[in-house]
Chains A and B, each alone.
With several copies, the nearest count.
Chain A
């Protein structure tokens, strides 16, 4: 109180008004996408309130807490307390959004499983880069299911239990069908009458022309990632 600098018109000292001013300053700094300048805050405080006083009070209030009010460049910002960085900066990798291509491949695998890579490419009409399938395998959503009993014995892909968990599905049959995709507006009415959305085959069932995949197959195909990273 002693070192208060008094602006024109005198300083408000009414605690209720000061509290209100502090609330405003607090909310402004919190919601802002960058440090907020002192002037910007001052313009929004009740007339006659000393902005610096309010901010210093706030700074003191937050000093011992998990979040601190700090002065950055020309403005004010909230930052988590430096000593708590160990909780915030965890070992987690940053969550990445799945790319459009990966989403497409994943959805084809989900609906058309068991499906071979050639079939995926046929449905998409473009070549699928190796990386896309790798990403989906790495995410733990896609797995090798078996091998098709056709020349070349191509590997078939399917989805995993983690896939169902992540997308909140109880079973594959819960994937919306043609009518439901239309009903939800995801498919427009302008589709040919012979258009079909397949009913995916359950995870554990093997298709008639499908053999289960074996460890040997995986090794033979060179599909095992270095370091024996396969989970099951």
Chain B
């Protein structure tokens, strides 16, 4: 029931209320101002939306826009965006390519035996699409500004009875049904996902392997970490994980005095050699498998 203290007198929305007020992201800034061509695609919903916006700046009926001029504006916009390295979604680039082609068709006289559509036909189809999109937007505005149930007109607040002609005593919509099915299957699909087993070198694997190898080193013989990893690793997919784990393992072995490390500069190869404490004292840790 309408609660006391309603202060609704003022916000009666007329049929001419701007659509923006009624949108969720109402009043959102469009990415482009007419004067300064500020490049920002954030506010646009795809290339057609951008084109429509550009076409509106020509301020004429869409059936009479200069498609050539429009194509040029769009291409200029895209160029500018690329210059300042804005990442453009693929469909913006596809549209640019198409418009560049259209431009050439409009500028070059039609060849005698050319089967493809003429530039004029292509231009007409583009103008048509823009006009249609604009028409749908206008329709949406008119729709949303109608007297809406629950906002402008109200239903019986205290219904006494729900009439039904359905013979069945149960109610469910197709949406309910599909939603139930999709979420059920989804739930189970996700619980049943088996993550593909990745070949990962654990730290203890790496340590074990390194310890074995270190035993084989000649005294004072520096060996590049990369180099001896290569001997082991045939699968390139394994290399990253192996190197990462092996490096971590070397640090551990260095701390224990079993290994020495050397690197001549940043990004230079890392060399290993046997540390002072290697001989014989295998008693803890290194081999427990």
Co-complex (A, B)? yes
Select B48's contact among A80, A93, A124, A135, beta carbons within 8 Å.
Answer: A124
B residues 157-203 near A (Cβ < 8 Å) are 157-186, 188-193
B147 touches A191 (CB 8 A): no
A95 touches B166 (CB 8 A): yes
Select A125's contact among B106, B127, B129, beta carbons within 8 Å.
Answer: B129
A166 touches B150 (CB 8 A): yes
A86 touches B9 (CB 8 A): yes
A126 touches B140 (CB 8 A): no
A79 touches B4 (CB 8 A): no
- Report the Cα distance A201→B22, complex, angstroms: 43
Q: Does B91 contact A (CB under 8 A)?
A: yes
A167 touches B174 (CB 8 A): yes
Chain B residues whose CB sits within 8 angstroms of the CB of A177 once the complex forms:
135, 138-139, 142
- Report the Cα distance A23→B9, complex, angstroms: 16
B23 touches A126 (CB 8 A): no
A152-191, CB under 8 A of B: which get 1 and which 0? 0000000000100111110000011100010010111011
A107 touches B160 (CB 8 A): no
How far does the Cβ of A214 sit from chain B's closest Cβ, in whole Å? 10
How far does the Cβ of B137 sit from chain A's closest Cβ, in whole Å? 6
Chain A residues whose CB sits within 8 angstroms of the CB of B178 once the complex forms:
107, 144, 175-176, 181, 184, 186
How far does the Cβ of A167 sit from chain B's closest Cβ, in whole Å? 4
- Most B C-beta atoms less than 10 A away, residue of A37, A101, A102, A195: A195
B163 touches A32 (CB 8 A): yes
Chain A residues whose CB sits within 8 angstroms of the CB of B124 once the complex forms:
191, 195-197, 213
B49 touches A126 (CB 8 A): yes
A88 touches B140 (CB 8 A): no
Select B23's contact among A103, A135, A186, A192, beta carbons within 8 Å.
Answer: A103
Chain B residues whose CB sits within 8 angstroms of the CB of A124 once the complex forms:
45-46, 48-49, 133, 136, 184, 188
* Contact A31-B166, Cβ < 8 Å, known A95-B171, A187-B185: no
Interface residues of B (CB under 8 A from A): 1-9, 11-12, 22-25, 28, 45-49, 63-69, 91, 94, 98, 106-107, 109-110, 117-129, 131-133, 135-140, 142-144, 146-186, 188-193
20 contacts between A and B (CB under 8 A): A31-B163, A32-B1, A77-B158, A85-B152, A85-B154, A93-B151, A95-B151, A103-B140, A106-B140, A123-B132, A137-B175, A138-B175, A166-B148, A181-B182, A184-B131, A188-B186, A195-B185, A199-B68, A200-B69, A218-B125
